[in-house]
Structure 1
Amino acid sequence: MTMNKDGFKTQIKACDTHSLAEAVAYLHAGRAVALPTETVYGLAADATSSSAVAEIYRAKNRPSFNPLIVHVADQSAAAGIGYFSQKAEKLAQHFWPGPLSMVVPLTDQGKAAMSPAVTAGLETIALRCPAHPVMRAVLEQSALPLAAPSANMSGAISPTEAQHVADSLGGRVALVLDGGACQQGLESTIISVDDDGWRILRPGPITREEISALLGDEEKPDPNADPDTVISPGQLASHYAPSKTLRCNALDPQADEWLIGFGEIEGDDNLSPTSDLAEAAANLYAALHRADASSKARIAIVPIPLTGIGIAINDRLKRAAH
């Protein structure tokens, strides 16, 4: 249990029938709770309540122009909030439940139901149907769409364990449901999709190649897109960052650097001794947390291949080092 100076308590509880019911009760009361997903732990609140969504922004110190992903129980619930083109429906049928978020146009019903703070005033909304059994149980039992960014202070290292949440948000959130270490370890892939085509806004566990193979066409970047406009989470230049300086693509670690290795380069920590990129993704944030807590003044990480999920790993490292 973690308590802040005002006596606000953060409790970590194992996921059982009682704690699930407690989490649902908090959500219906307009409170935010931290829940495990297959990607990272999320700070969830009722996406239809502006006061509940404000708890997320307040707890994380999150900038209000940064929109949130709304988690739903199934594709039917998502279709009541956003417009799904044929491409979007195909993606949902294939990858949901799972680590894929889709930015789609809001329906009139979605505009009326969702808190404007969720979309940051945009005409689109990011939707995801998660695969983690705890998050799915809470979605089904609460019957609420849940806004749920990562459960950590804004811009800091994302949490893949319950204790990471308590270390970052202790005293800012009442309840953390402990579902163990997150399987994927990286935030979901975010894709913008409409009748005209699709483009990846944030790389993640679902790769560009997998999406292209399913849809049978290539990614079509928006020629009118403003690079300074944030239309989905994870687009800020500085994000996922440790408190210490992080140096990427390091082959010459210095004495004051904690080296995160990969493959044959062992280091002080190793994302995957067998050079498995999926294992590296799952271990990335936990390794950054350990490095940040070490006695070394700085952090260095060896090169990670720019293939498959390695593209998403490098995206997080680039923003963490910004």
Structure 2
Amino acid sequence: MAELFDCSDPEQRETGIASAVSAVKGGRLIVMPTDTVYGIGADAFDSDAVAALLAAKGRGRDMPVPVLVGSWHTITGLVYSVPQSAKELIRAFWPGALSLVVHQAPSLHWDLGDANGTVMVRMPLHPVAIELLREVGPMAVSSANISGRSAAVTAAQAREQLGDLVEVYLEAGPSEQQAASTIVDLTGAHPRVLRQGPVSLEAIATVLGVEQASLLTETD
């Protein structure tokens, strides 16, 4: 039976995070608040749990699950190398609503879907999410909704869609941004924005010292 914890209450927050940690480490699914929208999460290194996450959303392997991290430094263990552009964007926008697509470290034993050697990573700007991530390590996290339906901006909305497929729901009120993160692909010769969101094209172009138009253009 799914449990929902109100993280505005200190006692429920402590119990809820402990329950979420236990669930994730046990290969089960949880719903957590982030600064963008609520996320459905699993241990990134538990392929069965990630498969259950995709099944709960009704989502195929062709849409691999992003990874959330609890510190700036975690990314160095997940990627093949950290491009200078990634360092600049991380310094400017993490924790926050910016996701980066990078080449993953070849030594990693995980299965996030058909990611073709890449991984999308983000450090969320939310105290509950950060506390949880620092307890359990990198988590595979996707928006907490059934594929094709509106992303949940509260845990209660997520529970309406996902029900008992999720073991623990952490409620922390409405998400601040209520919009999915901006995505920048750093796997090609030049950075490219795949999805525009709370972090603006102008802000990214300024940090990278490039023209905005170049971020939207396919390059060889």
Residue 155 (structure 1) shift: 1.3
Aligned to 1:75: 72
User: Aligned pair count?
Assistant: 211
Given candidates 10, 17, 22, the residue that maps to 1:20 is 17
Q: CA separation in 1, counterparts of 2:209 and 2:187? A: 15
Q: CA separation in 2, counterparts of 1:33 and 1:162? A: 10
Does the Cα contact within 8 Å between 1:86 and 1:195 map onto a contact in 2?
A: no
Do residues 206 (structure 1) and 199 (structure 2) align? yes
Q: CA separation in 2, counterparts of 1:222 and 1:96? A: 25
TM-score scaled by length of structure 2 = 0.91
Do residues 138 (structure 1) and 132 (structure 2) align? yes
Q: CA separation in 1, counterparts of 2:188 and 2:49? A: 33
Deviations 1:111-153 (A, max 9, x none): x23x22x1414121100011111110000112x2101001111
Given candidates 161, 165, 169, the residue that maps to 1:172 is 165
Runs of 5+ consecutive residues of structure 1 not aligned to the other structure: 1-8, 225-322
Aligned to 2:2: 10
Deviations 1:258-282 (A, max 9, x none): xxxxxxxxxxxxxxxxxxxxxxxxx
Q: Which runs of 4+ in 1 moved over 6 A?
A: none
Higher relative contact order (CA 8 A, sep 6+): 2
Do residues 193 (structure 1) and 186 (structure 2) align? yes
Deviations 1:242-265 (A, max 9, x none): xxxxxxxxxxxxxxxxxxxxxxxx
Residue 32 (structure 1) shift: 0.9
Q: CA separation in 2, counterparts of 1:177 and 1:146? A: 15
Q: CA separation in 1, counterparts of 2:129 and 2:114? A: 24
When residues 33 and 151 of structure 1 are mapped into structure 2, their CA distance, relative to the original with a 3 A threshold, is: same
When residues 200 and 121 of structure 1 are mapped into structure 2, their CA distance, relative to the original with a 3 A threshold, is: closer
Does the Cα contact within 8 Å between 1:85 and 1:195 map onto a contact in 2?
A: no
Do residues 48 (structure 1) and 45 (structure 2) align? yes
Residue 108 (structure 1) shift: 2.2
Q: CA separation in 1, counterparts of 2:42 and 2:163? A: 17
Determine helix, strand or coil for the equivalent of 1:34.
strand
Q: CA separation in 2, counterparts of 1:128 and 1:121? A: 16
Q: CA separation in 2, counterparts of 1:75 and 1:134? A: 17
Q: CA separation in 2, counterparts of 1:30 and 1:65? A: 22
Residue 84 (structure 1) shift: 1.5
Aligned to 1:38: 35
Residue 74 (structure 1) shift: 1.5
TM-score scaled by length of structure 1 = 0.63
Do residues 128 (structure 1) and 122 (structure 2) align? yes
Q: CA separation in 2, counterparts of 1:59 and 1:195? A: 32
Q: CA separation in 1, counterparts of 2:54 and 2:77? A: 25
Aligned to 2:10: none
Does the Cα contact within 8 Å between 2:189 and 2:219 map onto a contact in 1?
A: no
Q: Give percent identity, aligned residues only.
A: 34
Runs of 5+ consecutive residues of structure 2 not aligned to the other structure: 8-12
Determine helix, strand or coil for the equivalent of 2:186.
strand
Q: CA separation in 2, counterparts of 1:192 and 1:119? A: 17
Deviations 1:215-262 (A, max 9, x none): 1112342246xxxxxxxxxxxxxxxxxxxxxxxxxxxxxxxxxxxxxx
Aligned CA-pair RMSD: 1.4
Aligned to 2:154: 161
Determine helix, strand or coil for the equivalent of 1:135.
helix
